Amino acid sequence: MFLTTVRLRGKSAKRKEILMTLQELSNRMKSDDGCVKADLYQDINDEDILYLLEEWQSRGSLHEHRESEFAAVIRGMSSLLVDSVEIKQAGTM
């Protein structure tokens, strides 16, 4: 399994728009081949920080996902964000 954490810190005035976009994105990801899990969380100390936790069956399915519209959507959100997007990946057994 391959785990990915995507951290975004949005502008407060754009929180609702960001949240709706990420919810739609995570819902679509769940039907992608190889997606085991895609969950969205909000930081308890800063509601402008959101985390998208993804779990993929293989490195290949994760790579296909990264080459899909996901990257374009995240890039397109840059004007709504305070910081750059952080993406961390880890493989499991």
Kindly write down the DSSP assignment for every residue of 22-73, as one continuous string. HHHHHHHHTTSTTEEEEEEEE-SS-TTEEEEEEEESSHHHHHHHHHTHHHHH
Can you tell me which residue has the tokens 């190889």? 34
- Count the residues in the chain: 93
* Tens digit of each residue's pLDDT (9 = 90 or more) over 54-81: 999 988 888 888 888 887 888 888 889 9
pLDDT at 92: 65
The predicted model scores a pTM of 0.86
* Domains of the chain and any CATH numbers: 2-91 (3.30.70.100)
